[in-house]
Structure 1
Amino acid sequence: MGTLLQNKNIVIMGLRNKWSIAWGIAQAAAGEGAGLIFTCQSDREKEETEKLTAELGKFPVYICDISADENINEVFDVIRERHGVLHGVVHAIAHANPEDLSNDFVYTSRAGFLHALDVSAYSLVAVARKARELMTEGGSIVTLTYMGSEKVFGGYNVMGVTKAALEASVRYLASDLGPSGIRVNAISAGPIKTMSARGVKNFSNILSVVEEKAPLRRDVTKEDIGSACLFLLSDLSGGMTGEVTHVDCGFNVMGI
């Protein structure tokens, strides 16, 4: 086991299953000695999350309804009481209504638009506001985005717009929290076969194009993302904040 995150308490929000990017991050962080703290959205998800995280060690799992400020406040108060200082947060949370991904973007409902923004972008703001109180020694907040914020990917729709808002939020939060020694960054991950990705039309086509066109001639893995996030959570990235770092085997640099 490594020591890169030894004696550091890291909250990972959004772990759902072994195929999720958050799992790759959790594995990497646990391997470097982090004191992990997990949150999940509901009672229904808690049992599954506990079974999964038990493979890494004995780590607590708390229920946090990311759409309710009161619940976010309560959970972070519990974390403060039981774990004290917080050193890092991984925000791996996003959701859009299925109908807003299956139809053309122009048909996105007002309610669907607000839901996607609330869960996928505003939640980072709400979490950062509360996490700052526990990051008395400084720290690192990392969120996950995708290149659909920059370019149009068929079927990504409202999530692309939401990720653009998320990336702008990263920059504003970096400015606000920087004086407290807290860094805020995003990883723009290449496409990975996750449960959430199944909701995007033509996702398999996106994977094949990346494998063909990316400079490294392969698709990115959750282990790749885990390693990059490990860097951003650690002191090795102490001079970086407000950045959106692409981890996509170089696909974003290609013009054709």
Structure 2
Amino acid sequence: MNMALKPLAGKKGLIVGIANEHSIAYGCARSMHLAGAELAVTYLNEKAEPYVRPLAEALSAGIVEPLNVETPGQTEALFERIGEEWGQLDFVVHSIAFCPMQDLHGRVTDCSLDGFLRAMRVSCFSFIELARHAEPLMKEGGTLLTMSYYGADKVVENYNIMGPVKAALESTTRYLAHELGPKGIRVHAVSPGPLKTRAASGIAHFDALIDEAKQRAPQHKLVDIEDVGHTCTFLASDYARAQTGQTVYIDGGFNIMA
């Protein structure tokens, strides 16, 4: 097939965050696979593996490894295998977030220290860890992508402590872009509109948030994981080689509305 139709041909990428076929990470993986990329896929734990492994196999993923960023040694083991089998890495999709339910549903004012630290550790610091381990494998440059949300920039009812956490993630993206830019490594935060994923189901009154997004967005429709996947495929390709450090909205224009 014409290289123009396979913009990720010859590239190798790591996808972190697939839980099932509705995951944003799966939308990214599927689009990137169709664009010619070879993929490594992670699953959270033994309970998640039966849901993720068949998807990974359908994507012809040559590397399928467990990754719970709170488990010591798993990140190192993952990158050690990637280094041994591939010796290179061209892109990483970081699509994981977590907050204890009590803190997620409570006011920012009342957030516990433990809840805040766990949310930051899983949702933000893990992106720094992935970047640090990916850097030596991105010998000819590469792309690091993470998932954010509009609540990082504006107050979204019921998004609560994840707003400050995602704001930290977006700021981290800019600093990583600055530091890694001289090595040809580009870094972006991707900010989709609300999607009906398993992770999003933990947000209180999520259906109301979905309805508002559909009504207010100029396109008057919701985005889906395929939309996110196509944008991430573009950002990981050479077509986006002059872009870095951006928060890229995929929300039908919702973010431009007052």
TM-score interval, normalised by the smaller of the two chains: over 0.9
Residue in structure 1 matched with residue 255 of structure 2 by the alignment: 252
Structure 2 contact 227–250 (Cα < 8 Å) conserved = yes
1:109-148 to 2 correspondence within 5 Å? 109-148=112-151
Structure 1: distance between partners of 2:68 and 2:93: 16
1:67-108 per-position Cα deviation (integer Å, ceiling 9, x unaligned)? 246321221011100111110000001111111122222221
Matched, 1:238 2:241: yes
Residue in structure 1 matched with residue 153 of structure 2 by the alignment: 150
Residue in structure 2 matched with residue 34 of structure 1 by the alignment: 37
Structure 2: distance between partners of 1:53 and 1:6: 18
Structure 2: distance between partners of 1:168 and 1:69: 25
Structure 1: distance between partners of 2:168 and 2:240: 24
Which amino acid in the other structure matches residue 122 of structure 1?
Answer: F
Matched, 1:217 2:227: no
Root-mean-square deviation (CA, aligned residues, Å) is 1.2
Residue in structure 1 matched with residue 26 of structure 2 by the alignment: 23
Scaled by the length of structure 1, the TM-score of the pair is 0.96
User: Post-superposition shift, 1:240?
Assistant: 0.6
Secondary structure at 1:43 match in 2: coil
Structure 1 contact 46–61 (Cα < 8 Å) conserved = no
Structure 2: distance between partners of 1:133 and 1:252: 35
Scaled by the length of structure 2, the TM-score of the pair is 0.95
Which amino acid in the other structure matches residue 108 of structure 1?
Answer: C
User: Post-superposition shift, 1:65?
Assistant: 2.3
Structure 2: distance between partners of 1:221 and 1:48: 20
Matched, 1:164 2:164: no
User: Post-superposition shift, 1:41?
Assistant: 2.1
Structure 2: distance between partners of 1:119 and 1:186: 16
User: Post-superposition shift, 1:56?
Assistant: 2.4
Structure 2: distance between partners of 1:103 and 1:182: 38
Which amino acid in the other structure matches residue 219 of structure 2?
Answer: L
1:170-185 to 2 correspondence within 5 Å? 170-185=173-188
Residue in structure 2 matched with residue 105 of structure 1 by the alignment: 108
User: Post-superposition shift, 1:66?
Assistant: 1.2
State, as a whole percentage, how many aligned pairs show the same letter.
38
Count of residues in correspondence between the two structures:
255
* Unmatched runs of 5 consecutive residues or more in structure 2: none
Structure 1 contact 49–61 (Cα < 8 Å) conserved = no
Structure 2 contact 188–244 (Cα < 8 Å) conserved = yes
Residue in structure 2 matched with residue 91 of structure 1 by the alignment: 94
Residue in structure 1 matched with residue 192 of structure 2 by the alignment: 189
